Amino acid sequence: MKQSDIDLLRTHPIRPQSLLIGGKWRDASDGGRRDVISPIDGALLTTLAEGTQADVDAAVSAARAAFETGRWSRMAPAGRKAVLLKWAGLIEENALELAVLGVRDNGTEIGMALKAEPGSAAATLRFYAEAIDKVPGEIAPTGDDVLALVHRDPIGVVGAIVPWNFPLMIAAWKLGPALAAGNSVVLKPAETASLSLLRMAELGLEAGLPEGVLNVVTGAGPVVGQAMGLHTDIDVLAFTGSGATGRRLMEYSARSNMKRCYLELGGKSPNIVFADAPDLEVAAQVCANGIFRNSGQVCIAGSRLIVAESIREDFLARVVEIAGALKVGDPLDLQNDVGAVHSEAQLQGNLAMVEAARAAGGTVMGGGARIHEKSGGFYMSPAVIDGLGPEADIHRKEVFGPVLAAVSFKDEAEALALANATDFGLAGAVWTSDLSTAHRMTRAIKAGLLHVNTYGGSGVNVPMAGMKQSGNGVDKSLHALDKYVDLKTVWIKL
């Protein structure tokens, strides 16, 4: 990746965006529009169509019609596979354009965006495309006089609602298995990260997705998202975002047609560092990167540091030093390590959490302030907060910003108790040379994604599944296919 290629793309004018409904690009039913502000410099990038309830109705009708015709749902798996593979290829061909567009919209540093966004989205589509003609139904063992078949049928219309961090990657975690299984989809991007998803959808049409199979309705969560949640002709909701919105979606489901409601929510994930960690320098680097990259806007960010009392002082000092050396700035400049916070509102929320921790008696060890204000963009220096107990908000509430909360432990039992002292259960890591400690801890921590002496392991072939209030669904891996199929049993008398 060359800086000159990025610079060529960063000033491309972006035309006003439309909704994708029934294979056609159109304006919102009432002509409404929303400004798209870049977190890089606060400038107006373009406008989005502001979807309405009527637009959601139209998108769901188009999705249902496409499903019922069978032009996708009953296409031979090899046919769906060919289209999805072509789509993945087009995403890779246009990877830098997609990544730069996304960064202009949400502020993620370009190196991370290129890998995690088009790279990961293409890999995900490819994984499910390849899987779909290899996951068979079942013939159950029975007596000689009957045959019991278990079919895996597509369910119908899937409503996918996604957040603003990693829009392509997270949308692909829903689109890949849902479309491969034969469903139609209505996708709602986040208000502050729609541009690259609209472009990815355009590439989907180019790859041959039949009209109505993928629909995209941009707009406000409480309008478009709520209309999807309450819609009686959506069969499955696949959501990634905050716990507060997840709760609402469960309510909408209960109040409407009891649609399946899969939630991938937030976290407060611990990095637990024992004194016998194999390399404390590596541990400090990874702990710092694990919370500060993408300005902490990563669901699995290691936002709690739980460190052995005996090494606390030195380890914390090293993490603070690493944090202070990170270059925060223009996310499209390859020299920078950390980009922008995605919106002014998020930045203000982050700063308020730091101030609340300070007011509660915490020590802010460097950072925690707004920086580069003259650029017009939304930037924050990484903060490490020490001196508060595990009951403090900073140890319990998700900031979703570049803020690390530190606490120490005397023995393994206390480390485990601290790790589990949270409503969340998304991710975590244990740093130790002792195999038994590693096994005991990873088995006892209630979280879906655990690491030993590393952080942020990825790969579409393993599940991403939160425990406790981090969610109830599975993204990635073959397990995710189960969310988007009905199991139907047929008994045949012989």
Does residue number 119 form part of the binding site for ligand NAD (CB under 6 A)? no
φ/ψ bin of 370: left (φ > 0), alpha (ψ from -120 to 50), beta (otherwise)? beta
Q: Which of 222, 278, 361, 457 binds ligand NAD (CB under 6 A)?
A: 222
Of the residues 50, 299, 398, 412, only one is catalytic, namely 299
Q: CA-to-CA distance for 107 and 111, rounded, in angstroms?
A: 12
Q: CA-to-CA distance for 371 and 328, rounded, in angstroms?
A: 9
Q: Which residues face 430 on adjacent strands?
A: 272, 452
CB of 371 to ligand NAD, least distance (A): 22
**27-86 positions binding ligand NAD, by CB under 6 A:** none
Does residue number 458 form part of the binding site for ligand NAD (CB under 6 A)? no
Q: Which of 267, 331, 362, 428 binds ligand NAD (CB under 6 A)?
A: 267
Does residue number 221 form part of the binding site for ligand NAD (CB under 6 A)? yes
Question: Does the active-site annotation cover 287?
Answer: no
Of the residues 50, 109, 191, 264, only one is catalytic, namely 264
Residues 6+ apart with CB under 8 A from 87: 125, 203, 204, 207, 209
| Residue number, 17 or 408, with CB nearest to ligand NAD | 17
CB 274 within 8 A of CB 419: no
Does residue number 190 form part of the binding site for ligand NAD (CB under 6 A)? yes
Burial annotation 309-335 (CB, 10 A radius, 16+ → b, else e): eebbeebbebbbebbeebebbbbbbee
Segment near ligand NAD (CB under 6 A), from 147-155, 202-210, 239-247, 313-321?
A: 239-247
Q: What are phi and psi of 103, to 5 degrees?
A: -65, -40
| Residue number, 99 or 224, with CB nearest to ligand NAD | 224
Half-sphere exposure of 156 (CA within 13 A, CB side): 13
Q: What are phi and psi of 425, to 5 degrees?
A: -160, 55
CB of 468 to ligand NAD, least distance (A): 12
Segment near ligand NAD (CB under 6 A), from 57-65, 187-195, 272-280, 383-391?
A: 187-195
Question: Does the active-site annotation cover 299?
Answer: yes
Does residue number 225 form part of the binding site for ligand NAD (CB under 6 A)? yes
**127-186 positions binding ligand NAD, by CB under 6 A:** 161-165, 170
| Residue number, 338 or 426, with CB nearest to ligand NAD | 426
Q: What are phi and psi of 370, to 5 degrees?
A: -75, 140
Segment near ligand NAD (CB under 6 A), from 243-251, 288-296, 379-387, 485-493?
A: 243-251
| DSSP track, 294-307 | GGG--TT---EEEE
| Segment (H or E) for 158 | strand 157-161
SS3 179: helix
CB of 432 to ligand NAD, least distance (A): 26
Q: CA-to-CA distance for 8 and 25, rounded, in angstroms?
A: 27
Burial annotation 259-295 (CB, 10 A radius, 16+ → b, else e): bbbbbbbbbbbbbbbbeebeebeebbebbbbbbbbbb
| Number of chain residues interacting with ligand NAD (CB under 6 A) | 32
Does residue number 265 form part of the binding site for ligand NAD (CB under 6 A)? yes
Q: Which of 266, 296, 302, 367 binds ligand NAD (CB under 6 A)?
A: 266
Does residue number 264 form part of the binding site for ligand NAD (CB under 6 A)? yes
Q: Which of 104, 188, 293, 476 binds ligand NAD (CB under 6 A)?
A: 188
Which are the catalytic amino acids? 264, 299
Q: Which residues bind ligand NAD (CB under 6 A)?
A: 161-165, 170, 188, 190-191, 221-222, 225-226, 229, 240-242, 245, 248-249, 264-267, 299, 398, 400, 426, 464, 466, 471, 475
